[in-house]
Amino acid sequence: AQSVTQLGSHVSVSEGALVLLRCNYSSSVPPYLFWYVQYPNQGLQLLLKYTSAATLVKGINGFEAEFKKSETSFHLTKPSAHMSDAAEYFCAVTVFSGGYQKVTFGTGTKLQVIP
């Protein structure tokens, strides 16, 4: 079984401030972890992914996330928020095992950037 918890359905930051979006997961097998961004009226876009290589993953638009197994976390960060970062962000855990595949999404975090 697997699950994803995103703490904070809404997060507000000032432009230029640090962005921190939290994601905790549980999985009975080694997971692949993803962060997706969704802009209004658009589908999900991949921000970054962890696939058991480096624990610090860099993605697009200056975002990065660190996989911490001991904390079962995969928090998303960006040093300086930009107005264009305002969107909804989804954390997802995917398990691939032979012919078995399962994706579990968090409930999403809406990021508001205040000028």
Partner 1 sequence: GAVVSQHPSRVICKSGTSVKIECRSLDFQATTMFWYRQFPKQSLMLMATSNEGSKATYEQGVEKDKFLINHASLTLSTLTVTSAHPEDSSFYICSARVRKLAGHEQYFGPGTRLTVT
Interaction of residue 63 with partner 1, rule CB under 8 A: no
Out of 87, 92, 111, 113, point to the residue binding partner 1 (CB under 8 A). Answer: 92
Q: Least Å distance between CB 32 and partner 1?
A: 6
3-state secondary structure (DSSP) of residue 61? helix
Binding range to partner 1, per CB under 8 A, among 15-23, 60-68, 69-77, 94-102: 94-102
Contacts of range 70-73, beta carbons closer than 8 Å, 24 or more positions apart: 71/24, 72/24, 72/25, 72/26, 73/22, 73/23, 73/24, 73/25
Binding range to partner 1, per CB under 8 A, among 16-24, 61-69, 79-87, 91-99: 91-99
Phi-psi map region of 16: left, alpha, beta (phi>0 left; psi -120 to 50 alpha): left
Site string for partner 1, 24-53 (x = CB under 8 A): --------x-x-x-x-xxxxxxx--x-x--
| 67 bridge partner residues | 74
What is the C-alpha end-to-end distance of the chain, expressed in Å?
41
Residues that bind partner 1 (CB under 8 A): 32, 34, 36, 38, 40-46, 49, 51, 88, 90, 92, 94, 96, 99, 101-103, 105, 108, 110
